[in-house]
Amino acid sequence: MSYSEKIREVIDGSDVALFMKGTPAFVMCGNSDRALQALRRAGAPVTAVDVLPDPAIRQELTSISGWPTIPQVFVKGELVGGADIVEELEQSGELEQKLREQLGDDYAAARDEATVALTS
Amino acid sequence: MRMRGLEPPRPYGHTDLNRARLPIPPHPRGERSVPAYAAPNCCRAQAAQATGPQASPWRPGRARYDRRVSTEPLRALLEGAFPDAVELDVIDRTGGGDHFQVVVSAPSLTGLSLVEQHRRVYEALSAPLADGTIHELRIKTKGAT
């Protein structure tokens, strides 16, 4: 399966997909960390993908989303934004509201964090 | 490879190289060089004025890094893309000339989602983003009336 198929699968198949540099256990970039922390504060069930193992992942992702930078956050397949937007939405409470609308009121109950590797 | 004797002293030891790089200005002082993509005619004229008779050549040790040199080309691009902006600011966050904070508030952004608003900024700055001038970009956008 190609990267672009795998990326689409994660975007469409995850409640909250976070494409980041590093993993939640070992974040490799300050902005990825800002996005991750904001999502954690909102209690989002994050599925994280590390884009660093292969530069092609990042290229494919950008051609799919049309967003030039990392991190990128998707909720139910829809691009929410990068670190600045996610942080801003979290602070204003809109992120929680969006998660509630998209995932249901009890979205924070699961509170699981998964990491998906695209390289095999 | 060291064979014997003393190793020459390192001015800053094994620390962050940026510190050693700081006193060196990114562009020659005599004429302010604005990248071609960032220089519509009006901004060239301003640049020429700014480097009038009072412009002095760069002297080592005294000259300080001028943050405006790195932010002005970006500001010019944004002013071109958002001629209606009521607030427009470019901040060099680290003084290194590659980490920027951009603030844009414009009526043309009103009604767009944040994703769309940020996309407009990315489009305006696509040249410096592509050539690596911008290493990191933080964006804050707002609609305006």
pLDDT for residue A61: 96
The whole-chain average pLDDT of chain A stands at: 93
pLDDT band at B40 (very low <50, low <70, confident <90, very high): very low
pLDDT greater at residue B12 or residue A105 = A105
Decide if B140 and A84 are in contact by the 8 Å CB cutoff. Answer: yes
B37 alpha-carbon distance from chain centroid: 13
> Does the beta carbon of B142 lie under 8 angstroms from any beta carbon of chain A?
no
- Position B48 pLDDT exceeds 50: no
Which pLDDT score, from 0 to 100, does residue B80 have? 95
Residue B70: phi and psi, rounded to 5, are -85, -30
Q: Report d(CA B144, CA B86) in Å as an integer.
A: 7
pLDDT recorded at residue B133: 86
In the 8-state DSSP scheme, what is residue B109?
G
Q: For residues B49 and B31, what is the distance between their CA atoms, to the nearest angstrom?
A: 10
| Integer CA distances (angstroms), B53 to B50, B72, B91, in order | 9, 20, 27
Give me the mean pLDDT over the A50-79 stretch: 95
Give the pLDDT confidence score for residue B144 in this predicted structure: 86
CB contact under 8 A, A84 and B118: yes
Q: What is the mean pLDDT of residues A37-59?
A: 95
The CA distance from A55 to A82, in Å, is: 18
Helices (H) and strands (E) counted in chain B, each on its own, are 5, 3
Position A77 pLDDT exceeds 70? yes
CATH topology of domain B18-143: GMP Synthetase; Chain A, domain 3 (3.30.300)
Question: Which DSSP letter does residue B6 get?
Answer: P
Query: pLDDT: is B66 or B121 the higher one?
Result: B121
pLDDT for position B49: 42
pLDDT at B46 over 60: no
| Cβ neighbours for B130, distance < 8 A, ≥ 6 positions apart | none
* Domain extent for A73: 3-116
Mean per-residue pLDDT of chain B: 73
Domain count, chain A: 1
User: Cβ B118–A68 below 8 Å, yes or no?
Assistant: no
**pLDDT exceeds 90 at position A34:** yes
Long-range contacts of B47-50 (CB under 8 A, 24+ apart): B47/B72
The answer to whether residues B78 and B134 touch, using CB atoms and an 8 Å cutoff, is: no
Token representation of residue B135? 């290493």
CATH number at residue A88: 3.40.30.10
For the stretch B94-121, pLDDT in tens is 888 889 999 999 999 999 999 999 999 9
Q: Is the pLDDT of residue B38 over 50?
A: no
pLDDT > 70 in chain A, percent: 99
Instruction: Supply the pLDDT for residue B70.
Output: 81
Q: Which of A66, A83, A85 sits opposite B114 (nearest CB)?
A: A85
Element (H, E) at B142: strand B136-143
Q: Which residues of B touch A66 (CB under 8 A)?
A: 119
